[in-house]
Amino acid sequence: MSTEPQRLHLVFGGELVDPSRTEFVDPSQIHIVGMYPNYAQAFAAWKAEAQRTVDQAQTRYFIAHLHRLRDEELAAGPTEELGN
């Protein structure tokens, strides 16, 4: 078993309203590529989807660093504070 902390990454994308912004045309149609245990695997998945959709100018893919959403060392991470 690895002693390194797990660094989860989510790869997702879809059609944007404007390619210079990150607002999706229809958030219900966001393509979830997958969840990856490290950046290298997430990058490979992102690159494959970006290349697959290269001719679709309004389509963009992103890598979300899920491990940054919550700091396990703090009593309450920033995402837990959103509902209050």
Residue 11 reports pLDDT greater than 90: yes
CATH of the domain at 32: 3.30.70.2400
Tokens of 36: 């990856």
> Mind listing the pLDDT tens digit for each residue in 17-73?
998 999 999 999 999 999 999 999 999 999 999 999 999 999 999 999 987 776 556
The total of structural domains in the chain comes to: 1
Residue 84 reports pLDDT greater than 90: no
Q: What is the pTM of this model?
A: 0.76
* 63 belongs to a structural domain: yes
Among 82, 67, 74, 70, residue whose Cα is nearest residue 5: 67
- 55: containing domain: 9-81
* Whole-number Å distance between alpha carbons of 59 and 67: 25
* Whole-number Å distance between alpha carbons of 11 and 44: 10
Residue 82 reports pLDDT greater than 70: no
pLDDT of residue 28: 97
* Whole-number Å distance between alpha carbons of 24 and 22: 6
Among 67, 77, 70, residue whose Cα is nearest residue 36: 67
